[in-house]
Amino acid sequence: MWLFPLQRKSDVFATFKQFHVMAERQFQTKLKSVQTDWGGEFRNLSSFFSTIGILHRLSCPHTGEQNGFVERRHRYVVETGLTLMAQSGVPTKFWHYAFDTAVYLINRMPSRTSNNKCLDLVTNKQYVTRRVRFNEQSFPFLQTTSDLPSSTSPSYPYFSSYPSQTSPTSVDSLPTTSPITSQDTTTSSQTSARPPTSPPTHSLARDSASNLTKMAGIGNASTSRSGSRIVGDRYDFVPRSVVKSTTVRVVLSLAVTHQWPLRQLDVQIAFLRGDLKETVYLRQPQGFVDPQKPNHLCLLHKSLYGLKQAPRAWFDRLSGVLLQLGFMGSKTDPSLFIYSSKGNLMYMLVYVDDIIVTGNYPCLINHIIHKLSLIFAIQDMGSLSYFLGVEVVPRGRDLILSQRKYILDIIHKAGLTTCKSVDSPMTTTAKLALDDSPFFGDPVKYRQIVGSLQYLTLSRPDTTFAVNKVYQFMHSPTENHWSAVKRILCYLQGICNFGLLLQHHSSSVLHAYTDASSPSLYAFSDADWAGCPDDRQSTGGFAVYLGSNLISWCACKQRIVSRSSTKSEYKALADTVVELTWLEALLQELNVSMSSAPVYEKVAQIKLSVQFIKTDDQIADVFTKPLSSQRFLLLRSKLQEKNNCPESSRQIWRTGLTKQQQNTEENSNWTAVDHKSRCQTSG
């Protein structure tokens, strides 16, 4: 990498000619192509390039991501140079010396030796995480270290994502120190930032007695500023203890199809049941201090609420018990456990301390619940009725997943309880962009409402596209964005009684192409082209059915810019194939018989075909673009959304449909795997 400071942009031509001669002489090679934007400083280069045979590639106007590599390197140089100047106190007039030094260092520093992974200096392990918080206000290597007893491993600075207010309370036998504490970014649980509550001493004493240990013996333990706890700082990754929403819908669909009982369990004080593998100490709580050993600590054997290790400890304990009872952990979803023995099937879905149990043998279910109640404080909630804010409403032999109460709470929070309902969540003329109007005055309220709507898509696929669209402007919402959010709420106001229907007669035979006589697993996929006015990225979406039950859907912006509509369609198709492959593996683990696999490795084997499907029959349109009211209502009826109030259901969800559309909605039996050029896997 080379850096050439310029006094004027017009100096680009002369500077590049000097660079061209130097590069060819030093590296004994010829330049083949140069990519720039069409800025005025580069226009004089076109004629020069044409005379010496260099290909001049131009990026699209206002599309900086096409020159993303240069943009990132330029920013890297600027940030490195400014950091050097800030640390050394050099005046700004010497900026070009700092930037030259930055380029010199960058050219000599290894950049890909660790495959873009971070090395944890404490554990000597490499972690990949999306939840990294950088503390740019503290420079620990410039600070003095404490006199804590040294251990066999070197001591490294310990960063904090919480603002430190005061120094931790010291104990007589522990030297006073002010370490920079941290919520380690390698934790697998999403703990909240609120201060932890006081430790439940009664439950702790009931589960296991804690050992009292002298403070002097744990001088290398890190002191936490949150409360009066001292926690260990070394812990590992763990599979998440929350089940995927798609897995829940698949299991519920199978249970409805086979008319299996659905039971719900709740584990009381679950995080107190985990066994700690790490060394964690607790200061003696006020009022429970041993007068003979006031300077000792409690050595914890069980986890506590507020500990970073608590979610992993609880999940390890529960999974260990289930494995002893004969369950097998799922590879596709770690929070799904499967029991299969002598024709008896049982599925257990775990969401932290909420559990759903179903199977083909009720006596076996009762036996397993009894076994668990002997180990944990299990509360049998009876038949499944309310799970994670989703109401499970029986409707004959079918089930409806409804979030009516959750919708009304969101509308009340937004102050729109008296709003008038509309037929669609987004108008066809809606063109949301970053700076399309003045900034919204209450961005916190915007983020709260949109975040709540994001969870609502768990049972409302008809709002997925609209919510995904407004979710893209969480960092800088405008008045137009808030108007789009209010329209979504007005739409939900009129159909808050709707829910996702899981039908009894749905087949669970797994193959990707079917006709009306044999419902099975099939999918619809679609994508727009350059629909985002800000970055020209496309939006893809899909809907996957198991029989007539909608079990998985998605609407998301594609990560790169597509140069043609065909390319964006194939990207959406690839996402659909990935989802179908994952569902195939999940159904295999659930012991669902398959007559054929939905996706094969090679298209050349003629087992994955692409066929055309008319736009009128494209269900996935509802996930990629705003539609007219009539078109939206017609497609919504194909998403298996029904009203859980039978008397008024036909009046509400047929509003806006023409007579011909109503007949189509009543008589059609949607069966096909698709892409907009339809992706159909034959079997």
Tell me the percentage of the chain whose pLDDT exceeds 70. Answer: 68
What's the pLDDT band for 159 if we cut at 50, 70, 90?
Answer: very low
Asked whether the CA dihedral 554, 555, 559, 561 is positive or negative, the reply is positive
What's the pLDDT band for 36 if we cut at 50, 70, 90?
Answer: confident
Q: At what angle do helices 45-52 and 12-27 cross, to 10 degrees?
A: 30
* Residue 345: predicted pLDDT: 92
80-125 tens-digit pLDDT: 888 988 888 888 888 888 898 888 888 777 666 556 566 666 776 7
* Residue 236: predicted pLDDT: 52
Asked whether the CA dihedral 209, 215, 221, 225 is positive or negative, the reply is positive
Q: Is the pLDDT assigned to residue 589 strictly greater than 80?
A: yes
Ranges 42-56, 111-125, 552-566: which has the least confidence = 111-125
* Residue 431: predicted pLDDT: 83
What's the pLDDT band for 647 if we cut at 50, 70, 90?
Answer: very low
Gap between the Cα atoms of 592 and 81, Å rounded: 60
Q: Is the pLDDT assigned to residue 497 strictly greater than 50?
A: yes
- Enclosing H/E stretch for 453: helix 443-456
CATH 3.30.420.10 residue window(s) in the chain: 9-108
Mean pLDDT score of the chain, rounded to an integer? 74
Tell me the percentage of the chain whose pLDDT exceeds 90. Answer: 20
Gap between the Cα atoms of 574 and 513, Å rounded: 17
Q: Which of 259-268, 300-309, 421-430 tops mean pLDDT?
A: 259-268
Q: What is the DSSP string of 344-364?
A: EEEEEEEETTEEEEEES-HHH
Q: Is the pLDDT assigned to residue 235 strictly greater than 50?
A: no
What's the pLDDT band for 444 if we cut at 50, 70, 90?
Answer: very high
End-to-end CA distance of the chain: 54
What are the contacts of 86-93 at 24+ separation with CB within 8 A? none
Q: Please give the average per-residue pLDDT across 628-657, as a whole number.
A: 58
* Residue 267: predicted pLDDT: 92
Q: Please give the average per-residue pLDDT across 560-581, as a whole number.
A: 85
Q: Is the pLDDT assigned to residue 359 strictly greater than 90?
A: yes
Reply yes or no on domain 9-108 having CATH 3.30.420.10. yes
* Residue 640: predicted pLDDT: 65
- Using alpha carbons only, give the angle 461, 465, 466 rounded to the nearest 5 degrees: 105
